Amino acid sequence: MNNLLIDIGNSVIKTAEGSRSNNLITKIRKKPYLKRDFKKEFSEFLISINFKTEFNLIGVSSLNKSNNLFLRKSIKKHFGKESIFINNKIHLPIKIEYTSSIGNDRICNAVAADNLFPGKNILVIDFGTATTYTLVSEKILKGGIISPGILTAFNSLKDKTSLKFSNISFPEKLIGQTTEDNIKSGIMNQTLIFCEYVINEIRKSHRGLKVIITGGFSEFMSNRSKLFDLTDRELVFKGVNLIIKYNENINKRINN
């Protein structure tokens, strides 16, 4: 049996299946949601998928902790078993040096990154609602940076001004002749240039730094810089799968 993996971000619900024998991620499904309708939309999403298999473990990464009780009850009702919620209090294969709670998606990214490059210096850049930078050094999550995400920046300009755009993409030229191309160039290149600045600065103190990019908007960035070593859209799911298997193994040792 596979594991069921659930990733709830700031605007999208995603599910996938994670292999028990390796870390292969399959059957990814996703649904955008409105925060005011989250409970209704999550319940409808589970019903609509109509899972036809049983799962060994169920792991959940959710950014909004206030939904955890609802999620726990809903998942138990739907699948008949308890789920493991990712946070910085459960057993993890890495250490965390962070003075306050850190997003569970970033914990998952860090664990998956360390699994891909064991014990190395790694920077994970996640292009989501926010663009986050998470530094992992020798199996320790050291901290990072949070900046506005690409879509967040576009929507901010749209909401605060009369500027309009039709889609998110890099324009053909840095200097554009239309307002839409001006907006695209400003937001996309600003994001890219800051990414490269951060990478170059961190490399001064962390030799052999590996850079992994992930998140919904990573596809726009993947071929834009030679400083990116790997693009992996499934990084959070891989982290969830690794963490719940790690906890299962520890619990087995404790019980034995």
Report, as residue numbers or ranges, the catalytic residues.
Answer: 105
Q: How many angstroms separate the CA atoms of 4 and 71, rounded?
A: 14
In the numeric block, the tokens 């726009």 are attached to: 220
∠ at Cα 37 (167, 16), nearest 5°? 70
**Cβ-defined contacts of 27-36 (< 8 Å, 24+):** 28/234, 28/237, 35/64
Q: Which value, in Å, is the radius of gyration of the alpha carbons in the chain?
A: 19
Q: How many angstroms separate the CA atoms of 247 and 135, rounded?
A: 23
**Which strand (E) or helix (H) includes residue 142?**
strand 140-148
Three-state DSSP class for residue 117? coil
Alpha helices in 122-234 (DSSP H): 150-160, 179-203, 218-221
Cβ pair 129, 11 in contact under 8 A = yes
Cβ pair 122, 209 in contact under 8 A = yes
